[in-house]
Amino acid sequence: MKRLIQAICIATITTASAFADDRQVIKVPSEIKAMFLEEMRSHLDNLNEITLAIASGDFKGAAYVAETKMTFGHGMRTLMLDKGLTPEQIDAIMESMRQQNGGTMGRGKGMGKGMGGGGQGMGMGRYMPDEVRQLGQTFHEAAANFAKVAKSVSSPATAEDYQNVFNALSETIDVCSACHSSYRVE
Ligand code: HEC
């Protein structure tokens, strides 16, 4: 009996600590929190769109979703696409902006801050601690790499192509998880 009680106590303690939320809190104004979580939910939709595109063998479509909705400055891209620029023209503009900024744009300034009046940026970078902005940047880079890998698939796609594409996608999802296991917003 004593053993059983001991076992229950240990189980309770272990469960309690497993449920303790020791993630770091990011404090943001409530409207920013709402925007942030909305953007997050859209990322889950993006992942779903990407997965569906891959399932139907549409690698260009998968790359397009990642590039227009998940890479650094995705809001800018959407704006430029709306204005009728071609993806090639946009790539060139983004590249020259990256160079002008000596690579500092985004580094520590992601999540809309670097893009300032980009219009579509979340503009909440200033509420984010540096490490979170860094993770955001890592996330954008992983998405950009995924887009690159997916775009390079020629048709017909080989088993190796699928492996490469899913590996790159998994690296992107890893960043989602890394951030979620360390931070929460309040
Ligand atoms: C830079 C950090 C970061 C990255 C990268 C990130 N998230 Fe989040 N996400 C968060 C934080 C912080 C929350 C709030 C969690 C909380 O308060 O419990 C969140 C919440 C969410 C939510 C819940 C939204 C809600 O309405 O409550 C979803 C869904 C989500 N993220 C999906 C994703 C997906 C999918 C990815 C990757 C494609 C991703 N996130 C990448 C930080 C991040």
Question: 35-86 pLDDT, tens per residue?
Answer: 889 989 999 999 999 999 999 999 999 999 999 999 877 766 666 777 788 8
Lowest mean pLDDT across 29-33, 36-40, 74-78, 173-177: 74-78
Nearest CA to ligand 1 atom 3: 179
pTM of whole model > 0.75?
yes
Q: Which of 133, 179, 185 to mutate to test the pocket of ligand 1 (most atoms within 8 A of CB)?
A: 179
Longest dimension (CA), the chain: 75
Write the CA distances from 73 to 22, 59, 80, 149, integer angstroms: 31, 21, 11, 19
Contact present, 79 and 119 (Cβ < 8 Å): yes
Domain ranges of the chain: 23-185
Question: 91-141 pLDDT, tens per residue?
Answer: 777 777 666 554 444 333 345 444 433 333 445 677 788 899 899 999 999
Rounded to the nearest angstrom, the distance between the alpha carbon of 97 and the centre of ligand 1 is 27
For ligand 1, whether the C-beta of 124 sits within 6 Å is no
